[in-house]
Amino acid sequence: MKDIIVIIKKELARFFGDKRMVFTTLLMPGLMIYIMYTFMGEGLANKMTTPEDYVSKVYVQNMPEEMAPMLNQLPVEWTVATDADHDKIMAELKEGETDAMMVFPVNFVADMAAYDVTGGTPAPNVEIYYNSSETNSASFYQMMKQVLGQYEETLANKWDINAGDKDYDCSSESEFMANLLAMMLPMLIMTFVFSGCISTAPESIAGEKERGTIATLLVTPVKRSSLALGKIISLSIIALLAGISSFIGTIISLPKMMAMDMEGITISYGVQDYAALLLVIFSTVLVMVSIIALMSAIAKSVKEAGTMTSPLMLINVGVSLIPMFTGVKDVATTHFLIPIYNSVMMMNGVFSSNYSLTNLAVTIVTNLVLTALLSVGLTAMFNSEKVMFAK
């Protein structure tokens, strides 16, 4: 244990002694994620939402007198148009100079009241010309569909669906948001964790082989197994810190990134949930660092190590997308014996507040056992002079 602690101190001192590496590995990911997602979210919100005080500019033909009081209460500037104005208005719509044009049938209200569904004749049709590529125009179209639908119900209200002030939706907004986070965050966390591992592990092992400093370590009286464990644990600490930095940046910027109003929506996680997430992330970091460390020991240079580990990124991203198509409830306990997949699904379960302690235990034990096996493999690499001193 003393030798392992010595190796850990050496690796951490090497890392934290380089201020540029500390900034680029620990601080910059979370900072860049926050800045990038914030700008993305604000741009998306400006593109997809209409200002509250916005007044739509709409042309209208044959507005029924019966509907005029209702339509004039809307935030719309109505301009009367004729058939002769049609082409000019269409050109303005395409250029985004106006929001819409509504054309009512001449006797719309009377025809609608007299319309017989079983008569076989077409129903009275209101034409709404709009430009879906313009946010304000598309918003007006959706608003008018709702207004006209409600007006139709007042004329012939045969039945109601979920009338009154009762809350018929058994799922709260907080649960919806939690499920949304459960689909997105596992992929983000796994990407950040992998990035932290790939930025430190190859330099620590393949880099020392390339510089020739690994020979100094190997001739010391430190056991090769202690050297392997010391490397894995120290690299895991650094990768975990990098993952936490990125995770914090994501959580802070997530509301803006999603262009959603989070006011009034609270997602509460308990101490057990945070502990479960931390255990899963830490055990996952151990697995990833062990795999990359093993590949780095085989590689002759940092560049070769990067090439060998690049397919792992594709596997990592591919597995992380699974929660978007299936929930943790559909996963059997035996599936949590699969590394990486088990971590992704456990994160999904934690964020959706739908996981079992049994599956959590299976995930952590599986990851720790795999880490131990990979540590044995890394020890074997360190014991092989053919591998460690290959040119």
Domains in the chain: ranges and CATH: 2-44+183-388 (no CATH), 56-154 (3.40.190)
Which pLDDT value is given to residue 262?
Answer: 46
Strand-pairing partners, residue 129, are: 101
pLDDT higher at 346 or 258: 346
pLDDT digits (tens, 9 = 90+) for 90-101: 999 999 899 999
pTM here is 0.64
Read off the pLDDT of each residue in 51-62 and give the average, rounded to a whole number: 88
Residues whose CB falls within 8 Å of the CB of residue 355, separated by 6 or more in sequence, listed in order: 276, 328, 346, 349
Which pLDDT value is given to residue 268?
Answer: 62
Q: Say what percent of the chain tops pLDDT 90.
A: 17
Q: Is the pLDDT of residue 113 over 60?
A: yes
* Dist. CA 126–CA 195, nearest whole Å: 55
CB 23 within 8 A of CB 249: no
Which pLDDT value is given to residue 156?
Answer: 66
* Dist. CA 189–CA 247, nearest whole Å: 6
* Dist. CA 281–CA 360, nearest whole Å: 12
Hey, what are 321's tokens?
Answer: 């997308």
Q: Is the pLDDT of residue 214 over 80?
A: no
Q: In what order do the strands lie in the sheet with 56-61?
A: 76-80, 56-61, 100-103, 127-130
pLDDT digits (tens, 9 = 90+) for 250-264: 677 666 655 544 444
Q: Up-side HSE of residue 254: CA atoms within 13 Å toward CB?
A: 17
Range with lowest mean pLDDT among 15-29, 163-177, 339-353: 163-177
Range with lowest mean pLDDT among 160-164, 280-284, 367-371, 372-376: 160-164
